[in-house]
Amino acid sequence: MADSRLSAGEAGDAAGGVDAAAEAAVVRARPWSFVDCLSLASGAVVDAVVLAIMKGPWAHPSAADIERLAGEVKASHALYHSLGWIERPEEFHCDPPPLREIELAPARRWPIAHQWLSFASGYEPRREDPAAGRWQSYQSNRIAHAWMLRGDDDAPWLVCLHGSGTGHPLFDAAGFGARRLHATLGLNLLFPVQPLHGPRRAPQTGTAAFLSFELLDTVHGFAQAVWEARRLVRWLRDQGARRVGVYGISLGGYTAALLATLEPVDFVLAGIPLCDIPDLYVGHSPVRMRERAEALGLLGRELRELFTLISPLARPPTAPRDRRFLFAALADRIVPPTHAKRLWEHWERPPMSWYPGGHVSFFWTPGVQRFVEAALRRAGFVHRR
């Protein structure tokens, strides 16, 4: 079977003017093996099971919810259109204040030696926003949390943004390969806990956090995530960090890509990323629910324009092209591969790896970690003690 994964060299050739031989060192295409085919099939099956759980009846809005959501989206669109922010989405993201007061907890040893930090988020929606009261009612979300692995002061910092449903060192240290990134590559690592995840979870939101049918919660979830990440990136630079990169997986891949359009970063890597929230919702909605929502105008132009406020496709990334990287799954049932391809196109076709598997199987696919490490080395994001 021919290998349909995009090699870094092919990506370079497509973009033009790039040293394809050097980039081919990051990813090489190769013939498919039986193990690859098995990984592809098993990854798709695992994704299907996870998706069935995620799309259970509890995750569906009622007819009254759909009507309410249509009203919220219409009112929110009118507000931000009147401010001119639909046309200039970068103005929706206020410049965050410096991070002056931060609480550092005593060092923790499990599941990996790390230090926990917390601070007042400071993010607030505009009072006129129809979802402002609901968002502010999530009391536990007002305190931002993060944890870090800190080594040499001269080492680069990598900000790691987790996926949906995680936000705890037990899962994220393993998912990002934190031990190896820190001990072998010598990186300093910072793991922000995204809004409504981990200790920030609100009882009202359940396990869906801010990627739920509450569409305006999704807008504010990503807006708050990048607000806090920008404060942390600037805090690192104030502490003397010379190089700061960002690496996100799944939902975190979206946050990383959005962050890279708003804050100068020296490296960006998006893994199994989504890039278009309305498309994701439409694709996963049951037919009758989608028809009802479309009849009320919920899934139309106003929703799509509203989501440009938080779209990673609305602006170019700040990281240089040779320090942008992506990986994605060929059999992804949760985030269709078209999302990664669109982001890759928007990023001017940088080096990218397609692995044979599903969304969830990045966790146990060895080629993913090899690509991540090769990308970091290619960008000079390693530190030798």
Q: Give me the average pLDDT of each 10-residue run along the chain (385 residues).
A: 36 33 40 66 73 61 92 97 95 96 88 94 97 96 97 96 93 95 97 95 74 92 98 97 97 98 98 96 86 90 96 97 97 94 98 94 91 96 83
Residue 20 located in a structural domain: no
The number of distinct structural domains making up the chain is 1
Position 181 in a domain: yes
Assess if residue 350 is contained within a domain.
Answer: yes
Looking at the DSSP bridge assignments, the partners of residue 117 are 104, 146
Q: β-strands 103-104, 143-149: how paired?
A: unpaired
Phi, psi of 23 (to 5 degrees): -75, -25
Q: Is the separation of the CB atoms in 205 and 140 below 8 Å?
A: no
Residue with tokens 């919810």: 65
Q: Is residue 9 part of a domain?
A: no
161: which strand partners?
248
**How far is residue 24 CA from its own chain's centroid?**
26
25 located within any domain: no
Could you list the beta-strand ranges (E) of the chain: 103-104, 115-120, 143-149, 157-161, 188-193, 244-249, 267-271, 324-329, 352-355
- 10 within some domain: no
CATH code, domain with 281: 3.40.50.1820
* Angle formed at CA 234 by CA 229 and CA 235, multiple of 5 degrees: 95
Return the bridge partners of 352, or none. Answer: 326
- Backbone dihedral region for residue 91 (phi beyond 0: left; psi -120 to 50: alpha; all else: beta): alpha
> pTM, whole model, 2 decimals?
0.89
Containing domain of residue 349, as a range? 31-378
In the numeric block, the tokens 């942390």 are attached to: 232
In a domain, residue 15? The reply is no
b/e sequence 262-283, b meaning 16+ C-beta within 10 Å: bbebbbbbbbbbbbbbbbbbee
Radius of gyration of the chain (CA): 20
Does 21 reside within a domain?
A: no
Query: Are the C-beta atoms of residues 258 and 311 closer than 8 Å to each other?
Result: yes
